[in-house]
Protein backbone atom coordinates (compact mmCIF):
# COMPACT_ATOMS: atom_id res chain seq x y z
CA UNK A 1 0.00 0.00 0.00
CA UNK A 2 1.39 3.42 -0.87
CA UNK A 3 1.65 6.55 1.26
CA UNK A 4 -1.34 7.97 -0.67
CA UNK A 5 -3.71 5.51 1.00
CA UNK A 6 -1.83 4.99 4.29
CA UNK A 7 -1.29 8.66 5.10
CA UNK A 8 -3.09 10.97 2.68
CA UNK A 9 -2.18 14.06 4.70
CA UNK A 10 1.57 13.53 4.31
CA UNK A 11 1.04 12.35 0.71
CA UNK A 12 -0.67 15.64 -0.13
CA UNK A 13 2.13 17.66 1.48
CA UNK A 14 4.62 15.68 -0.58
CA UNK A 15 2.77 16.47 -3.80
CA UNK A 16 2.37 20.13 -2.83
CA UNK A 17 6.08 20.46 -2.08
CA UNK A 18 7.06 18.81 -5.38
CA UNK A 19 4.74 21.28 -7.19
CA UNK A 20 6.18 24.23 -5.25
CA UNK A 21 9.71 23.20 -6.13
CA UNK A 22 9.02 22.78 -9.84
CA UNK A 23 7.10 26.06 -10.15
CA UNK A 24 9.73 28.14 -8.32
CA UNK A 25 12.94 29.70 -9.63
CA UNK A 26 15.19 28.53 -6.83
CA UNK A 27 18.12 30.84 -6.21
CA UNK A 28 18.80 29.79 -2.62
CA UNK A 29 22.57 29.37 -2.84
CA UNK A 30 22.70 26.37 -0.51
CA UNK A 31 19.89 24.33 -2.14
CA UNK A 32 19.92 21.86 -4.99
CA UNK A 33 17.90 18.95 -6.41
CA UNK A 34 19.24 15.52 -5.65
CA UNK A 35 18.99 12.94 -8.45
CA UNK A 36 16.43 10.10 -8.36
CA UNK A 37 19.15 7.49 -7.72
CA UNK A 38 20.09 9.29 -4.51
CA UNK A 39 16.44 9.61 -3.44
CA UNK A 40 16.01 5.89 -4.15
CA UNK A 41 18.67 4.83 -1.63
CA UNK A 42 17.66 7.50 0.88
CA UNK A 43 14.23 5.88 1.17
CA UNK A 44 15.68 2.37 1.39
CA UNK A 45 16.18 -0.46 3.90
CA UNK A 46 19.57 1.00 4.81
CA UNK A 47 17.64 3.28 7.17
CA UNK A 48 16.81 0.25 9.33
CA UNK A 49 20.38 -0.53 10.30
CA UNK A 50 22.21 0.50 13.45
CA UNK A 51 25.94 0.68 12.78
CA UNK A 52 27.67 2.50 15.63
CA UNK A 53 31.39 2.37 14.95
CA UNK A 54 33.26 2.04 11.67
CA UNK A 55 33.60 -0.64 8.96
CA UNK A 56 34.99 -3.78 10.62
CA UNK A 57 34.61 -2.24 14.13
CA UNK A 58 30.90 -2.01 14.92
CA UNK A 59 29.03 -2.26 18.19
CA UNK A 60 26.14 -4.19 16.57
CA UNK A 61 25.94 -7.39 14.52
CA UNK A 62 24.62 -7.62 10.97
CA UNK A 63 26.89 -5.01 9.50
CA UNK A 64 28.73 -6.97 6.79
CA UNK A 65 26.81 -5.24 4.03
CA UNK A 66 26.75 -1.72 5.44
CA UNK A 67 30.48 -2.06 6.13
CA UNK A 68 30.96 -2.48 2.38
CA UNK A 69 28.66 0.46 1.73
CA UNK A 70 30.45 2.85 4.11
CA UNK A 71 33.86 1.74 2.84
CA UNK A 72 32.69 2.41 -0.73
CA UNK A 73 31.60 5.94 0.24
CA UNK A 74 34.95 6.53 2.01
CA UNK A 75 36.99 5.25 -0.96
CA UNK A 76 34.98 7.35 -3.41
CA UNK A 77 35.34 10.48 -1.25
CA UNK A 78 39.12 10.04 -0.93
CA UNK A 79 39.50 9.49 -4.67
CA UNK A 80 37.28 12.39 -5.72
CA UNK A 81 38.95 14.94 -3.42
CA UNK A 82 42.47 13.49 -3.41
CA UNK A 83 42.36 12.95 0.36
CA UNK A 84 44.13 10.39 2.53
CA UNK A 85 41.19 9.81 4.87
CA UNK A 86 37.43 10.46 4.81
CA UNK A 87 34.76 10.26 7.48
CA UNK A 88 31.26 10.18 5.96
CA UNK A 89 29.19 9.95 9.15
CA UNK A 90 28.69 13.58 10.23
CA UNK A 91 25.02 14.46 10.06
CA UNK A 92 25.52 17.88 8.49
CA UNK A 93 27.94 20.80 8.22
CA UNK A 94 27.40 22.43 11.65
CA UNK A 95 27.89 19.13 13.53
CA UNK A 96 30.89 18.31 11.31
CA UNK A 97 32.57 21.58 12.31
CA UNK A 98 32.00 20.86 16.01
CA UNK A 99 33.48 17.39 15.50
CA UNK A 100 36.55 18.91 13.87
CA UNK A 101 37.03 21.39 16.73
CA UNK A 102 36.70 18.55 19.22
CA UNK A 103 39.36 16.59 17.32
CA UNK A 104 41.83 19.46 16.96
CA UNK A 105 41.32 21.81 19.91
CA UNK A 106 40.96 22.08 23.65
CA UNK A 107 38.17 24.25 25.11
CA UNK A 108 39.43 27.83 25.29
CA UNK A 109 41.80 27.50 22.30
CA UNK A 110 41.70 30.27 19.72
CA UNK A 111 39.93 29.98 16.38
CA UNK A 112 40.34 32.63 13.69
CA UNK A 113 37.48 32.81 11.21
CA UNK A 114 35.48 35.16 9.00
CA UNK A 115 32.78 37.15 10.82
CA UNK A 116 29.26 35.83 10.11
CA UNK A 117 27.98 39.18 8.83
CA UNK A 118 30.90 39.29 6.37
CA UNK A 119 29.99 35.89 4.89
CA UNK A 120 31.15 33.40 7.54
CA UNK A 121 29.06 30.73 9.24
CA UNK A 122 27.33 30.38 12.61
CA UNK A 123 29.40 27.33 13.50
CA UNK A 124 32.64 29.25 12.84
CA UNK A 125 32.42 30.85 16.27
CA UNK A 126 29.34 33.09 16.45
CA UNK A 127 28.42 33.74 20.07
CA UNK A 128 24.93 32.22 19.73
CA UNK A 129 26.53 28.94 18.62
CA UNK A 130 28.33 26.51 20.93
CA UNK A 131 31.50 27.09 18.90
CA UNK A 132 31.54 30.72 20.05
CA UNK A 133 30.91 29.70 23.64
CA UNK A 134 33.58 26.99 23.87
CA UNK A 135 36.54 28.65 22.13
CA UNK A 136 38.15 32.05 21.97
CA UNK A 137 37.20 33.52 18.62
CA UNK A 138 39.03 36.17 16.65
CA UNK A 139 37.22 37.29 13.52
CA UNK A 140 38.76 38.59 10.34
CA UNK A 141 36.70 40.74 7.98
CA UNK A 142 36.13 41.53 4.34
CA UNK A 143 38.18 44.45 3.01
CA UNK A 144 35.79 47.45 2.87
CA UNK A 145 37.26 48.70 -0.41
CA UNK A 146 37.43 45.50 -2.48
CA UNK A 147 34.69 43.50 -0.78
CA UNK A 148 37.22 40.63 -0.79
CA UNK A 149 39.50 38.91 1.71
CA UNK A 150 42.71 40.84 2.35
CA UNK A 151 45.38 38.19 2.87
CA UNK A 152 47.92 40.66 4.26
CA UNK A 153 45.52 41.77 7.00
CA UNK A 154 44.61 38.15 7.73
CA UNK A 155 48.33 37.26 8.05
CA UNK A 156 48.86 40.16 10.47
CA UNK A 157 45.86 39.19 12.60
CA UNK A 158 47.12 35.59 12.77
CA UNK A 159 50.53 36.82 13.98
CA UNK A 160 48.85 38.98 16.63
CA UNK A 161 46.39 36.41 17.99
CA UNK A 162 48.25 33.07 17.57
CA UNK A 163 45.23 30.90 16.75
CA UNK A 164 45.35 27.13 17.07
CA UNK A 165 42.90 26.89 14.15
CA UNK A 166 42.23 29.09 11.13
CA UNK A 167 39.02 28.53 9.20
CA UNK A 168 38.68 29.44 5.54
CA UNK A 169 35.61 28.63 3.46
CA UNK A 170 32.38 30.57 3.76
CA UNK A 171 28.60 30.73 3.33
CA UNK A 172 28.20 34.10 1.67
CA UNK A 173 31.55 34.95 0.07
CA UNK A 174 31.58 34.79 -3.69
CA UNK A 175 35.27 34.84 -4.53
CA UNK A 176 37.74 32.01 -5.10
CA UNK A 177 39.88 31.35 -2.04
CA UNK A 178 43.66 31.65 -2.11
CA UNK A 179 44.38 28.30 -0.45
CA UNK A 180 48.20 28.51 -0.74
CA UNK A 181 48.11 31.89 1.04
CA UNK A 182 45.89 30.52 3.83
CA UNK A 183 48.21 27.49 4.10
CA UNK A 184 51.25 29.74 4.43
CA UNK A 185 49.61 31.89 7.11
CA UNK A 186 48.53 28.83 9.12
CA UNK A 187 52.03 27.35 8.91
CA UNK A 188 53.67 30.62 9.94
CA UNK A 189 51.76 30.65 13.24
CA UNK A 190 51.70 26.86 13.70
CA UNK A 191 47.90 26.77 13.41
CA UNK A 192 45.87 24.04 11.75
CA UNK A 193 43.90 25.08 8.67
CA UNK A 194 40.28 23.99 8.23
CA UNK A 195 38.80 24.44 4.76
CA UNK A 196 35.01 24.52 5.10
CA UNK A 197 34.04 23.97 1.47
CA UNK A 198 30.40 23.23 2.29
CA UNK A 199 29.20 25.50 -0.50
CA UNK A 200 31.83 24.74 -3.11
CA UNK A 201 32.63 21.04 -2.51
CA UNK A 202 30.97 20.00 -5.76
CA UNK A 203 32.60 22.82 -7.73
CA UNK A 204 35.99 21.73 -6.40
CA UNK A 205 35.24 18.07 -7.12
CA UNK A 206 34.20 19.12 -10.64
CA UNK A 207 37.54 20.95 -11.00
CA UNK A 208 35.88 24.30 -11.58
CA UNK A 209 37.54 25.80 -8.48
CA UNK A 210 40.95 25.15 -6.90
CA UNK A 211 41.27 22.47 -4.24
CA UNK A 212 42.28 23.27 -0.64
CA UNK A 213 44.51 20.17 -0.65
CA UNK A 214 47.41 19.99 0.16
CA UNK A 215 47.26 23.30 2.07
CA UNK A 216 44.47 22.45 4.54
CA UNK A 217 44.86 19.96 7.38
CA UNK A 218 41.15 19.20 7.42
CA UNK A 219 38.55 19.79 4.71
CA UNK A 220 34.82 19.61 5.34
CA UNK A 221 32.02 19.70 2.81
CA UNK A 222 28.32 19.25 3.18
CA UNK A 223 26.91 16.82 0.64
CA UNK A 224 23.59 18.45 -0.25
CA UNK A 225 24.68 21.72 -1.88
CA UNK A 226 26.99 21.68 -4.91
CA UNK A 227 27.57 17.91 -4.54
CA UNK A 228 23.85 17.25 -5.16
CA UNK A 229 23.71 14.48 -2.58
CA UNK A 230 21.58 13.87 0.49
CA UNK A 231 21.85 16.12 3.56
CA UNK A 232 25.09 15.22 5.29
CA UNK A 233 28.79 16.02 5.46
CA UNK A 234 32.18 14.55 4.68
CA UNK A 235 35.30 15.29 6.72
CA UNK A 236 38.55 14.77 4.81
CA UNK A 237 42.01 14.82 6.33
CA UNK A 238 45.53 13.47 6.27
CA UNK A 239 46.31 10.04 7.81
CA UNK A 240 47.86 11.74 10.83
CA UNK A 241 44.50 13.20 11.89
CA UNK A 242 42.28 10.27 10.86
CA UNK A 243 42.04 8.67 14.28
CA UNK A 244 41.28 11.98 16.04
CA UNK A 245 38.53 12.84 13.51
CA UNK A 246 36.95 9.38 13.68
CA UNK A 247 36.99 9.30 17.49
CA UNK A 248 35.58 12.82 17.74
CA UNK A 249 32.73 11.80 15.39
CA UNK A 250 31.91 8.54 17.17
CA UNK A 251 31.81 8.15 20.14
CA UNK A 252 32.77 11.80 20.73
CA UNK A 253 29.80 13.50 19.15
CA UNK A 254 27.29 11.16 17.51
CA UNK A 255 25.81 7.71 17.93
CA UNK A 256 24.70 5.54 15.04
CA UNK A 257 25.39 6.89 11.55
CA UNK A 258 22.48 7.28 9.12
CA UNK A 259 23.31 4.44 6.74
CA UNK A 260 20.64 5.44 4.19
CA UNK A 261 22.32 8.85 4.02
CA UNK A 262 25.73 7.28 3.61
CA UNK A 263 24.29 5.24 0.73
CA UNK A 264 23.07 8.50 -0.82
CA UNK A 265 26.51 10.06 -0.33
CA UNK A 266 28.14 7.05 -2.06
CA UNK A 267 25.82 7.45 -5.06
CA UNK A 268 26.31 11.23 -5.21
CA UNK A 269 30.10 10.82 -5.14
CA UNK A 270 29.95 8.37 -8.03
CA UNK A 271 27.88 10.88 -10.06
CA UNK A 272 30.24 13.72 -9.11
CA UNK A 273 33.23 11.80 -10.44
CA UNK A 274 31.74 11.70 -13.95
CA UNK A 275 32.51 13.88 -16.95
CA UNK A 276 29.02 15.45 -16.98
CA UNK A 277 29.49 16.70 -13.44
CA UNK A 278 32.55 18.71 -14.49
CA UNK A 279 30.38 20.50 -17.05
CA UNK A 280 27.74 21.06 -14.39
CA UNK A 281 30.29 22.61 -12.01
CA UNK A 282 31.58 24.98 -14.70
CA UNK A 283 28.06 25.92 -15.73
CA UNK A 284 27.09 26.86 -12.15
CA UNK A 285 29.86 29.47 -12.20
CA UNK A 286 29.09 30.70 -15.74
CA UNK A 287 25.45 31.17 -14.75
CA UNK A 288 26.35 33.01 -11.53
CA UNK A 289 28.61 35.39 -13.48
CA UNK A 290 25.81 36.01 -15.99
CA UNK A 291 23.31 36.60 -13.19
CA UNK A 292 25.70 39.02 -11.49
CA UNK A 293 26.38 40.93 -14.73
CA UNK A 294 22.66 40.98 -15.53
CA UNK A 295 21.86 42.47 -12.12
CA UNK A 296 24.65 45.05 -12.44
CA UNK A 297 23.03 46.21 -15.70
CA UNK A 298 19.99 47.09 -13.57
CA UNK A 299 22.34 48.98 -11.22
CA UNK A 300 22.32 46.44 -8.41
CA UNK A 301 25.41 46.61 -6.21
CA UNK A 302 27.07 43.19 -5.93
CA UNK A 303 29.43 42.66 -2.98
CA UNK A 304 33.02 42.40 -4.34
CA UNK A 305 31.68 43.51 -7.72
CA UNK A 306 31.00 39.98 -8.98
CA UNK A 307 31.62 36.32 -8.34
CA UNK A 308 34.02 33.46 -9.03
CA UNK A 309 31.65 30.84 -7.64
CA UNK A 310 27.96 29.86 -7.76
CA UNK A 311 26.81 32.62 -5.42
CA UNK A 312 26.59 36.37 -5.08
CA UNK A 313 25.33 38.80 -2.49
CA UNK A 314 23.37 41.92 -3.48
CA UNK A 315 23.83 44.98 -1.29
CA UNK A 316 20.35 46.50 -1.09
CA UNK A 317 21.25 49.18 1.47
CA UNK A 318 20.52 52.03 -0.92
CA UNK A 319 17.71 50.33 -2.85
CA UNK A 320 14.74 51.07 -0.60
CA UNK A 321 14.37 47.35 0.23
CA UNK A 322 15.63 45.40 3.21
CA UNK A 323 16.81 41.85 2.56
CA UNK A 324 13.73 40.41 4.25
CA UNK A 325 11.34 42.61 2.27
CA UNK A 326 13.07 41.71 -0.99
CA UNK A 327 13.07 38.01 -0.11
CA UNK A 328 9.32 38.14 0.65
CA UNK A 329 8.42 40.11 -2.48
CA UNK A 330 10.41 37.76 -4.70
CA UNK A 331 8.74 34.74 -3.11
CA UNK A 332 5.35 36.23 -4.03
CA UNK A 333 6.21 35.82 -7.73
CA UNK A 334 7.83 32.40 -7.29
CA UNK A 335 11.51 33.26 -6.90
CA UNK A 336 13.29 32.07 -3.76
CA UNK A 337 16.44 33.83 -2.53
CA UNK A 338 17.70 34.16 1.04
CA UNK A 339 18.17 37.36 3.00
CA UNK A 340 21.80 37.98 3.89
CA UNK A 341 23.83 40.37 5.98
CA UNK A 342 26.35 42.53 4.15
CA UNK A 343 29.74 43.52 5.62
CA UNK A 344 29.23 46.15 8.35
CA UNK A 345 25.46 45.82 8.03
CA UNK A 346 23.50 48.59 9.78
CA UNK A 347 20.46 46.31 10.03
CA UNK A 348 19.78 43.20 12.15
CA UNK A 349 20.56 39.64 10.91
CA UNK A 350 16.81 38.90 10.80
CA UNK A 351 16.15 41.86 8.57
CA UNK A 352 19.53 42.57 6.99
CA UNK A 353 20.55 44.74 4.04
CA UNK A 354 21.27 42.10 1.45
CA UNK A 355 20.08 39.03 -0.38
CA UNK A 356 22.18 36.02 -1.38
CA UNK A 357 21.56 34.30 -4.71
CA UNK A 358 23.05 31.11 -6.11
CA UNK A 359 22.82 29.05 -9.27
CA UNK A 360 23.35 25.46 -8.06
CA UNK A 361 19.70 24.44 -8.22
CA UNK A 362 18.73 26.16 -11.47
CA UNK A 363 21.88 24.87 -13.21
CA UNK A 364 20.79 21.34 -12.27
CA UNK A 365 17.55 22.20 -14.11
CA UNK A 366 19.50 23.22 -17.23
CA UNK A 367 19.82 26.98 -16.76
CA UNK A 368 22.07 28.76 -19.28
CA UNK A 369 23.77 32.19 -19.02
CA UNK A 370 21.02 33.64 -21.26
CA UNK A 371 18.40 32.26 -18.85
CA UNK A 372 20.35 33.69 -15.90
CA UNK A 373 20.26 37.13 -17.54
CA UNK A 374 16.50 36.75 -18.03
CA UNK A 375 16.18 35.97 -14.31
CA UNK A 376 18.11 39.17 -13.51
CA UNK A 377 15.49 41.10 -15.48
CA UNK A 378 12.62 39.39 -13.64
CA UNK A 379 14.24 40.19 -10.26
CA UNK A 380 14.66 43.83 -11.24
CA UNK A 381 11.03 44.00 -12.41
CA UNK A 382 9.79 42.40 -9.19
CA UNK A 383 11.75 44.84 -7.03
CA UNK A 384 10.23 47.76 -8.93
CA UNK A 385 7.46 48.92 -6.60
CA UNK A 386 5.22 49.86 -9.54
CA UNK A 387 5.28 46.37 -11.12
CA UNK A 388 2.24 44.12 -11.41
CA UNK A 389 3.22 41.01 -9.47
CA UNK A 390 0.44 38.88 -10.95
CA UNK A 391 1.86 39.38 -14.44
CA UNK A 392 5.41 38.59 -13.24
CA UNK A 393 4.22 35.48 -11.41
CA UNK A 394 2.80 34.13 -14.69
CA UNK A 395 6.13 34.83 -16.43
CA UNK A 396 7.98 32.95 -13.69
CA UNK A 397 5.63 29.96 -14.01
CA UNK A 398 6.23 29.89 -17.77
CA UNK A 399 9.99 30.16 -17.27
CA UNK A 400 9.93 27.22 -14.83
CA UNK A 401 8.20 25.00 -17.41
CA UNK A 402 11.33 25.35 -19.56
CA UNK A 403 13.50 24.05 -16.71
CA UNK A 404 11.85 20.92 -15.32
CA UNK A 405 13.29 19.07 -12.31
CA UNK A 406 14.25 15.71 -13.76
N1 LIG B 1 22.30 27.19 5.74
C2 LIG B 1 23.52 27.10 4.99
C3 LIG B 1 23.59 28.16 3.96
O4 LIG B 1 22.53 28.57 3.54
O5 LIG B 1 24.66 28.54 3.56
C6 LIG B 1 24.69 27.15 5.85
O7 LIG B 1 24.47 26.36 6.96
Asked if 63 contacts 50 with a C-beta cutoff of 8 angstroms, the reply is: no
Q: Measure CA 215 to chain center.
A: 20
Task: Answer whether 249's CB lies under 8 Å from 86's CB.
Answer: no
Output the residue whose Cα is nearest ligand 1's atom 1: 30
Residue stretches of the annotated binding site: 116, 120-122
Which of 109, 87, 343 shows the shortest CA–CA distance to 237?
Answer: 87
Ligand 1 centre from 357 Cα, in Å? 12
The answer to whether the CB of 169 is under 6 A from ligand 1 is no
Residue 111: exposure state from Cβ atoms within 10 A (0-12, 13-18, ≥19):
buried
CA distance 70 to 269: 12
Q: Give the list of residues 6+ apart from residue 156 with CB closer than 8 angstroms, or none.
A: none
Neighbours of 207 (CB within 10 A): 12
Answer yes or no: is the C-beta of 200 below 6 A from any ligand 1 atom.
no
Compute the distance from residue 30 Cα to the ligand 1 centre, in Å: 6
Whether residue 93 has its Cβ less than 6 Å from ligand 1? yes
Catalytic hit among 49, 58, 110, 196? 196
Angle at 45 between CA 39 and CA 47, to 5 degrees: 75
- Given the residues 221, 222, 341, 359, the one annotated as active site: 222
Total residues found in the chain within this entry: 406
Contact 46, 236 (CB under 8 A): no
Question: Which of 388, 316, 317 shows the shortest CA–CA distance to 357?
Answer: 316
CA nearest to 393, candidates 322, 319, 329: 329
Cα–Cα distance list, 93 to 82, 99, 174, 212, 234 (Å): 20, 10, 19, 17, 8
What is the pLDDT at residue 94?
A: 98
| List of domains in the chain | 39-272 (3.40.640.10), 282-402 (3.90.1150.10)
Question: DSSP 3-state assignment of 335?
Answer: strand
| Residue 30 Cβ contacting ligand 1 at under 6 Å | yes
In Å, how far from its chain's centre is CA 26? 15
Give the pLDDT confidence score for residue 1 in this predicted structure: 64
Kindly give the interhelix angle for 369-382 and 389-402, rounded to the nearest 10 degrees: 160
Q: Of 155, 144, 213, which Cα lies nearest the Cα of 182?
A: 155
pLDDT tens, N- to C-terminus, the chain (406 residues): 689 999 999 999 999 999 999 999 999 999 999 999 999 999 999 999 999 999 999 999 999 999 999 999 999 999 999 999 999 999 999 999 999 999 999 999 999 999 999 999 999 999 999 999 999 999 999 999 999 999 999 999 999 999 999 999 999 999 999 999 999 999 999 999 999 999 999 999 999 999 999 999 999 999 999 999 999 999 999 999 999 999 999 999 999 999 999 999 999 999 999 999 999 999 999 999 999 999 999 999 999 999 999 999 999 999 999 999 999 999 999 999 999 999 999 999 899 999 999 999 999 999 999 999 999 999 999 999 999 999 999 999 999 999 999 8
Amino acid sequence: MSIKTKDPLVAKLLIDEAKRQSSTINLIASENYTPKEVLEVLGSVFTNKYAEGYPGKRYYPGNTIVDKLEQLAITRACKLFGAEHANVQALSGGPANLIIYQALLKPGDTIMSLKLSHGGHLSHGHNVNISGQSYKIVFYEIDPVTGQLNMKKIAKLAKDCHPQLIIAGFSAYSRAIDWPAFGKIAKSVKAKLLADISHTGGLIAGQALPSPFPYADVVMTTTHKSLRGPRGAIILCKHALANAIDKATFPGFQGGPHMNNIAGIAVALQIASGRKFKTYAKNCIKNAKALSEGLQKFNYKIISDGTDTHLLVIDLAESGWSGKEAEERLEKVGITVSRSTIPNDMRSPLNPSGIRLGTLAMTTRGLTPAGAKQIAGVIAATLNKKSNLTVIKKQVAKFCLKYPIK
